[in-house]
Amino acid sequence: METRTTAEVDPHERADFWSEHVGSHQSRMGYRYARTDDFRGATVRQRTERYQLVKFWSDEVAYSRTARQVRQDPDEDYRLLLPLSGEIVLRQDGQEARLTPGTGTLVSFAAPFECLQDASTHAFVLTIPAREMDGPLNRKSPLATGLDLSRGLGRVVSSMIGDLHAERDHLTDAHFNAVSDRVVELLCMLTLGDDRPDGAGQLTDVETMVRRYVREHAADPGLTGTSMAHALGWSLRQIQLALQRAGTTPRDLIREERLRLVRERLQCGDCEHLTITDLAFASGFSSASALSTAFRQRYGVSPREMRSGGRRP
């Protein structure tokens, strides 16, 4: 965790300080200040090897990321931008999102954008690795503008992010990652529009129950779509239709939850005594090789490399 403020430097150096500071934990961008003689701002940053949450406030500033900067400093990760006060205007891919408290947007740093912030803005920025969303959705996640964070799943997302910040002194890296994983899961549902009541409300209920069941029974090697259907009292076809609306299948959902379980155990000190083979069988995989293949496809590293702190996934 790190706290920085422009009060650390002389007034005439503060704009340059802010540009350098923001660039150090985001990616290369351009900055246009309403005034440079005494710019004010501050950040509180929480970071693990997987996620980053920054709460910030500052005077008026415009950020931009050009096509040239995208090429020079590639960054595939998404940012969830969530204002707490003031207004932020984001323009990307021909779309414009005008954000005020209770709304949010997903920004891709892999494409140019312009972000205009007024002088009264306080906001959260959550950095989400692209594969954390693209994997569960089985496709490249679209830009999601104007997410409603004032009710339903959106309000839960907003509350969880606020709690991550409020409890920052009491969370381990594993706790921070686990909560962030759940935030991303809900964001995937929001992006697909699953928070809106519609004629397929029953399928939404089925999906919710299936996701909960898979999370609770992922370590069971006998878990399949058929066994879920039998346990929950629905037909396999109902479960397939419910998950199809969310862009996944029973098999993919089970594999995704098992991989999350392995990842959490690899980063848990209490599980250091378990071998990769032990983890594979304890997480529902048929063998260590099956786990290693699926894990590398999902996270870009092997289980052994992640445990030993190898290259960043």
Summarize pLDDT for 120-162 with one digit per residue, the tens: 899 999 999 888 877 655 555 445 567 888 887 788 899 999 9
Q: Is 107 exposed, middle or buried (0-12, 13-18, 19+ CB in 10 A)?
A: buried
Please state, in angstroms and rounded to a whole number, the distance separating the CA atoms of residues 52 and 180: 9
Contact between 48 and 129 (Cβ < 8 Å): no
Q: What is the pLDDT of residue 145?
A: 61
Rounded CA gap, 86 and 136, in Å?
A: 33
**Contact in structure between 288 and 304 (CB atoms under 8 Å):** no
- What pLDDT is stored for residue 144 in this prediction? 54
What is the model's pLDDT at position 222? 92
Give the pLDDT score at 153: 78
Residues of the chain with pLDDT under 70: 135-145, 192-203, 310-313
Residue of 237, 143, 259 whose CA lies nearest to 190 = 143
Q: How much is the pLDDT for 190?
A: 76
C-alpha 103/C-alpha 249 separation (Å) is 30
User: What integer pLDDT is reported at residue 194 of this predicted model?
Assistant: 46
